[in-house]
Every structure is written in structure tokens, then in C-alpha cells.
Chains A and B, each alone.
Chain A
Amino acid sequence: MALRRQVGEAALAPPRVVTPRRTLADREDVLARVMLTPALLYVLLLVGLPFVLAILLSFSAATAGSLDFTWVGLRNFARLLPDPQFRLALRNTFLFTAVSQAIVILLAVTAANVLEAAFVGRRVVRFLLLLPWAVPVSLAAMAWTWIFDSTFSVVNWTLKVLGLLEGWFYWFGDPTLAMIAIITVHVWRMFPFATVIVLAGMTALPQEIREAAVVDGAGFFRRLFQVQLPLLLPIVTVSVLFGVVFTATDLGVVWLLTRGGPYNSTHVLATLAFQRGILAANLGQGAAIALFLLPVLVVVAWVMLRTARRTEVGG
């Protein structure tokens, strides 16, 4: 009772009045605008504007010499369709994307499983694994052009020494070999990022569910395919989505390694657009090539985001 009385008296004491003074930090409406503006400007000026410009250009006869926006409708697109070089680039883009993403996911899931296990030197290995992603693409391309060089190819010499190679691989002289080289380098660049995403997803999996599978008597592969991968599906989907978009729109690897050669056989849409639009100064045509995959990518993104949402983990 005594306690309660004390509480009552404290409540009766006049409340200390705090003068309300709103500072800028309290004005969320103002802050929101101020803080969003730079990002908004960036997106509008450096992403939005070029995008709109590209769409306009693809419907025009503009060249680098004369920026006259003569409206030509779908002519740029219509001319592309029968163009064998364009068709090859389109085919290459799909091939390049599909094959490299398949390999990336395979490697990423494997690497993530290895890196999740506790072993001595795990930190070092994790760091090394992330390096390819951090290395500037031009630097990496220099190293890789040497690895695939027609005379000094490290791969060839190694195979030769091991007695596994009879003849000689002219990596950038043969369309198939060149494509293999391109996919190799791209996988090397992309898979650390995918690994990090998958690893993050694995860390987020409920520990008890994985242990339940152990106690339930499931072996490694049963746990991997029946428990871990289904639970990882949403995050793997996101990783593949990023990978597909990055790969289908990638210019750097192909351009730096082969410049679309030999005989324009390894062009992807991005390099072809660059060659036609910038180097050959046919802006309209280049824009049309670059935009060609946009609807496909939008659909891919939509489908994957839907899948990711539907297969949510937990609950």
C-alpha cells in the first residue's frame, strides 16, 4: 500500500513541460525530399534520359554525323530481323547467357556449401573467392587474353605439359573456342557475386530445419536436393535474375576479349550495338539492337520475381 501511495503522489506532481521545438531533423517530409533528390536526379539524368533517347533513336535515322531525328518507324527493327549477323548475335546472347548462368549457379551452390563449412583458412578463401568480382574488367581481360593467347596460352601449355593436348587451341581464332573462352571469363567474373548471395541465403536458413533433416537420417545429397535447394530457390532465383540481366547486357567481356571476332562470330547484342551504333556511327540501328532484348528481359524479370515471391521461405 505504501508503495502504491508513493506512486500516486509522483503522478500528482506537475509534469515538467518540454517546449516543443521542431528541428530540421524532425521534419520527415522535408528530409524525405532532400535526401531523395540526388538519387532521383541520378536516375533521371544518367539512366532515364539515355533510355528515352535510345528509344527515340531506335525509331529514327539518326547517325553520329547528323542528329536529325527523321522518324522512320520500325524500319531499324525490320532491317535487323533478316540480318544474319544480327541473328547470330541474338543466338550468341541467349547461348552466352544460358550457359554461363547455368555454370555460375552450379559453381555458386557448390562454393557456398564449401565455404559454409568451418575449416582453417575459411576467411582467406572467402576473400580470394571474391577477388574476381572486385578486379576491374579491363585488368582481368588482359590476364585472360594472355591465358588464351594464340602463342603463349597458359591453358595450352599446361595441357601440353600434362600430355592432355595433342594439337593446339587457337582460342580466339575459332568461333567455338572463342565462345568457350568468353563464357569461361564471364563465369569467372560472375560466380563470386552469386556465391555471396547463395551463401547469405544459406546462412538465413533456419538451423533447426537443417538439423531436423540430419536427425531424420537424410544423407548429404538428399538434404541438398530435398531441403536446402528448395528452401534456397527464392534467393537462387534472385541471383539468376541478376545474372541474366548482367550477362545479356554485358559489353565488356566480349569486347575486350574478341571484339566480336573471329569473323564477327562471337558478337552479342551489346557488342553488335556498340559496333554498329558507335563505331559505324549508325545510331538508330545501334539503338534498335540494344533495345531488342528489353521486352524479353522485362518478362524474365517479372517471371522470376513472381517465382521468388511465391516460394517464400518459412511459415
Chain B
Amino acid sequence: MGYVETHDLHKHFGEVRAVDGVNLDVAEGELLVLLGPSGCGKTTLMRMIAGLETPTSGRIVIGGEEVDEDVPPRARGVAMVFQSYALYPHKTAFGNIAFPLEALGLPPAQIAEKVDAGARMFGIGHLLRRLPRQLSGGERQRVALARAVVRDPRVFLFDEPLSNLDAQLRAIARYELKEFQRQIGTTTIYVTHDQVEAMGLGDRIAVMDRGKVRQIGTPQEVYDYPADTFVATFLGSPPMNLVEHDSETLLGFRPEHFLPREVFPAEEPVVTFHLRVRQIEHLGADRLLYGTLEEQARRDQTVIAALPVTIRTPIQEGEVYRFAVPQRALRTFDRATGRARDGAR
């Protein structure tokens, strides 16, 4: 029994099936990331859990009780952090954090106490008198988090809360968010299209595409054993290489496993290819090689190899090299359905 469950949840907008039969089971205290490209239905799914959208069909259970359209958002015990933070621009940071407590009808003294505690948790005690427009992006995000925390929700819902931050701030904010979630141990559902965020934050990741959950698993599971070619190519940057093996099978291997043959010990079982290198990118920590396999019938299909700086093999554009993938890193997919053949859980 999960703490948050959805059972065959559907949301259709006319002909469009935004959410198409989703079954989720989020354990208490878990941080589940909903990951997928824009329009995959992840935000709609979250909004249904929050009560902002009414499901076309299916059931949602929070903490053992079913929440249907008769249970409005305020009765669900969920707190949501929006992509834009959605702070009330005319209220100070204090007023923003106090708002959900006022809605609960708490006495002012208790509100002040809780706001102070929440603000201290995020280190924004000195900013409480400021209006949102006088705060930086990171500070606004903290106010939004404090506003979500103060009324002790049963479930946190995060809708891409880091996407408005600078790239440099984002890594730190991600770390802090995870730290904070572990600390208070509240069940959390986190929506993002950023796979790095998903891998870094999630206890488990649910990868979504076109309204359906394609795979749920730990970050390592979905990365190492993608359930289908969509998950294989959506996760990872650069994505997993998919090459034709025969008329029914696709071979998949990650760029970081696709290395010059001589890197691997002679006795390690590997599959070798001849890689014609078309272009080289030096990215500092990595060298990315774009090329084609000489074994491939279709020469236009690009494969990518990611060589860490520790591998110093000299490589020239236009030349052909012997590259290899360790057997253990090789995945096979059905060409027609895209489903993983083996290895996947």
C-alpha cells in the first residue's frame, strides 16, 4: 500500500489523452520524480493529485483515503511549489508564508511562530519584510518552499521548481532540496523534464511519455535497464546509442561504454564495431565523438562515444577506429515494439 496511489487514472482533453491510464504507488516519505518531455502528461497528473484538475476516470488515494472531486485541494493536505513560485506579489515574504496558515484559521501568535520556524529552515529570516519583487530568484524559491512547509502537508508537489534558476544555482538548490526532503521526510512528487534533476533527486523515477508511464524504478534502474527505446534515449546526455542488429533487434549502448577496444582488457567479453569518426567535441571532462558504424547498412545513423579525459587515445576526424562495448553494458530492444528484450526488470 502506497501513501499516494493512482489507479488507472485518465485525463482526456477532447481527443487528447493527456494522462492515459496511470498507476502510481508512492511510498510514504519517498521522493518520486515524474520525468518526461513537455506534453507527456506529468504536470496534468500532478495537478489531478493536487485537485486542480478533475480526472476523466480513475481513482486517487492519499494516505489511505480516496480523494475524488468532492475533496477540494484545501482538504487534501497537499502543498505545491509552482514553476514560477507563484508568490503573492502584493504580500511580503511573511505574508506569503503566513497565507496558508491564515486559511487554516490559526491564531496570529501561532502563525508568527510557524512562519519564523519555516523561514529559519530556509535561512530567509532576514527577508520576511520584503516583497517578492525585492527578492532574487533563489530567495523567492525559498519563500515558496517555506510557504509549502509551514502547514505540515501530507504530500509535497513540486512542479519544476528549479527551472527558473541559473544553471550554477541549480545544482546547489537541488542538493538543498534533497537534503530538506530527507530531513522532514514528507512524501514528495516532483515533476521535471530535466533528466539530470530527476537522476539526482529521485528515490524513484517514473518516466512518462504521451500520457503513459513507460517505466518506474530507481535512477540506476531506469538508466541502466531502460524498459524501452523511449526511456533509453530520453535519459542520458548524450542519449543511448541504438543501432540495428538484425531485422528484429536493436542494440543499445550508452556513449560512455563505447570506448576504444584497447581500453578494455583482452579477456573481457566485448562486442566490437568499426567507428568512422565524423566530428569531435572537446567538452573538458569528456571527448564526444560523433560517427557512424562501418558495420551498419544505414551509414547516416549517428552513434556517439563519450571518452573521459583519462583516455588519451589520439583520434582524428575522418578516420576509422576499432571501438567496443562490454557485453554487460549491451541492451537489446525489439525493433517493432521498442520494448527491452532482456536485462530490464
Contact = CB atoms under 8 A, between A and B. Distances in A.
B227 to A, nearest CB: 32
Contacts, number: 74
Contacts of A315: 89, 132-133
Contacts of B318: 1-2
B239 to A, nearest CB: 22
Interface string B153-190: 00001000000000000000000000000000000000
A227 B83 CA distance: 19
B271 interface: no
A218 B86 contact: no
Contact of A216 (B90, B103, B157): B103
Interface string A1-19: 1110000000000000000
Given A214-B73, A215-B52, A315-B133, A222 B86 contact: no
Interface in A1-49: 1-3
A219 B52 contact: no
A137 interface: no
B100 interface: yes
B317 A212 contact: no
Given A1-B317, A1-B318, A216 B84 contact: no
Contact of B99 (A1, A2, A216, A219): A216
B3 interface: no
A231 interface: yes
B79 A215 contact: yes
B88 interface: yes
A311 B99 CA distance: 20
B100 A216 contact: yes
Interface residues on B, range: 20 to 34
B122 interface: no
For chain A, which range describes its interface: under 10, 10 to 19, 20 to 34, or 35 or more residues?
Answer: 20 to 34
A212 B140 CA distance: 14
A215 B99 contact: no
B151 interface: yes
A208 B84 contact: yes
B84 A206 contact: yes
Interface of B: 50-52, 72-74, 78-80, 82-84, 86-90, 99-100, 102-104, 132-133, 147, 151, 157, 279, 317-318
Chain A to chain B: the 4 pairs with minimum beta-carbon distance, closest first? A315-B133, A217-B74, A212-B86, A208-B86
Given A215-B50, A226-B88, A227-B88, 16 more contacts: A1-B318, A2-B318, A206-B84, A208-B84, A209-B88, A209-B89, A211-B80, A213-B88, A215-B78, A216-B103, A216-B147, A217-B100, A219-B74, A230-B90, A231-B88, A231-B90
17 contacts: A206-B86, A209-B86, A209-B87, A211-B52, A211-B80, A215-B50, A215-B52, A215-B78, A215-B157, A216-B100, A217-B103, A217-B104, A219-B103, A230-B90, A231-B88, A231-B89, A315-B133
